[in-house]
Amino acid sequence: MNKKSDSQLSTKVIQSEPSKSVNKTWLWGGSFGSRNSVLLFHSSCLADADNEAAIKEKPGYKLHVTYKAFQAETKLLAKLLDCHGISEAAVMSNDFNLLWTGSHPKPGVLRSLCAHQRVNHFPRSYELTRKDRLYKNIERMQHLKGFRHFDFIPQTFVMPIEYRELCQAHHRARGPWIVKPVASSRGRGIFIVESPQQVPLEAPVVVAKYISEPLLVAGGHKFDVRLYVLVTSFDPLLVYVYEEGLVRFATVKYDPGPHRVWDPCMHLCNYSINKFHSDYVKSDDPSAENVGHKWTLSALLRQLKTEGKDTTSLMSQIEDLVVKAILASANSIITACKMFVPHTGNCFGFTEFGNLCHRLVL
């Protein structure tokens, strides 16, 4: 799946596909003939966790591939790497292929990378992951390329510096507004207000127009779609979108009434919040894709299709959103790469995109 963006940057979006020779070598030649082979990872290899003989047959072991982990909870990652024959390097060793870190690597770490080494962060990737920076980058692209090309986010303001603009917008069109910390996750610190006077100004937050008419399924429940994205280059922009996604449902049925009470389990879809609700249904069977409050993306698309919705259009819009959000943040990251990253290909980045669909998108 290839898309061209409005930017001068060369953009390629690629749906990940399994290799035809995966059962033989676990190696795949990549999408372009000039690119190096890559190692494919398979959950089936977890069965070999205690099989030393099987692990020694893996390409990672034969090629002496190693990794280091820093400030990261990597139990599952470490197990997956070990099962593919990729061993952990000594703490003080600089002889490694992969550096997996839970924080942004410092410029000195990036500058010291050799051509064969990879790290799981781009410099200044917070331009994409922080809510305030992402919004300002998208706003800039709205001015540069035209609002209609980047109209996929609701009206948003960064507090406290844009408080006056928020008040003016509220005077023109009343709330509600949703308030989110700029660098938080798992639904922490999110709430809804009816007027700007209720917005705290002590800490930086973003305030966005609340989407009062979301697309609803499963008997009237809100949901969001989580897509998993890998960026291996920003110039040219090379993005891999994993073909399967995760759909999370709010536990409480959505009530659009004017007297609604703030209930996180109605308005938010985060698992970390909804799992404590008494009505939350856990999905324990991997083969049941549309049971409980977590579905696969495939199950959602099948459900929407039975309701007569244009799922092809929906996915096209979501993929377009992913590309443009990354594109909006690209310039700062490209500049940082030129300053700190010595070799093309040293950095890659995993991220997930959460998409709340308005009922009018279909």
Are 58 and 44 in contact, with CB atoms under 8 Å apart? no
How many distinct helices (H) and strands (E) make up the chain? 12, 16
Strands 98-101 and 349-355: unpaired
Domains 127-153+211-361 and 155-210 share a fold: no
Are 236 and 326 in contact, with CB atoms under 8 Å apart? no
> What is the DSSP annotation of 83-138?
HTTPEEPPTT----SEEEESSPPPHHHHHT--TT-EES--TTTHHHHSHHHHHHHH
Q: What pLDDT does 74 receive?
A: 77
Q: Where are the domains of the chain?
A: 11-123, 127-153+211-361, 155-210
Give the E-state strand segments of the chain in sequence order: 11-15, 27-28, 38-39, 66-70, 87-88, 98-101, 118-119, 156-159, 177-181, 191-193, 205-209, 223-234, 237-241, 246-249, 294-296, 349-355
pLDDT at 247 over 80: yes
Q: What pLDDT does 17 receive?
A: 45
Q: What pLDDT does 141 receive?
A: 96
Q: What pLDDT does 116 receive?
A: 93
| Alpha carbon of residue 313 to chain centroid | 20
pLDDT at 20 over 80: no
The mean per-residue pLDDT over the stretch 187-197 comes to: 90
Question: Options 3.30.470.20, 3.40.50.1820, 3.60.15.10, 3.20.20.210; which CATH number does 127-153+211-361 get?
Answer: 3.30.470.20
Q: What pLDDT does 13 receive?
A: 42
DSSP 8-state code for residue 294? E
Report domain 155-210's class. Answer: alpha beta
Residue 158: other Cβ atoms inside 10 A: 20
Mean pLDDT across the chain: 85
Torsion, Cα of 316, 317, 318, 320 (10° steps): 80
DSSP 8-state code for residue 78? H
pLDDT band at 258 (very low <50, low <70, confident <90, very high): low
Pairwise CA distance, residues 243 & 15, whole Å: 6
Longest dimension (CA), the chain: 70
Angle made by CA atoms 155, 297, 29, in degrees to the nearest 5: 105
Of 45-59, 192-206, 287-301, the poorest mean pLDDT is in 45-59
